[in-house]
Homo-oligomer: A and B are copies of this chain.
Amino acid sequence: MIIGKVVGSVISTRKNENLVGNKFLIIEPIKSMAHAGDRLVAIDNVGAGIGEVVLVATGSAARIGCGMESAPIDAAIVGIIDEGVKLE
């Protein structure tokens, strides 16, 4: 998993039907992480909001681990990092 900050969201009206009902958040991995600065889009599995620092799972883990086995999802926010945790 990587740690990133939610920096925005994106709206897609015309999309794969298995994606309906999901929020698409833009994640920016924090500086010390792999792919630092390189943003990705993740669905939200835990009710995260913009500005929060989150744990993101990628690959089949996002899809299967969030109970959406047949959705075209390759990244999901799976935890919100507790405030006060030092990361960099």
Q: Which residues of A contact B (CB under 8 A)?
A: 1-3, 10-16, 18-19, 24, 32-36, 38-42, 45-47, 55, 57-67, 69-76, 78-82, 85, 87
The 5 A-B residue pairs whose C-beta atoms are closest, nearest first, are A65-B72, A15-B79, A12-B79, A34-B38, A57-B72
Could you say which residues of chain B place their CB within 8 Å of the CB of A61?
59-60, 62-63, 71-74
A65 CA to B16 CA, complexed, in Å: 8
Question: Quick one: copies of this chain in the complex?
Answer: 5
Contacts of A13 in B (CB 8 A): 80, 82
Asked whether A82 and B12 contact (CB < 8 A) given A66-B72, A71-B61, A72-B57, the answer is: yes
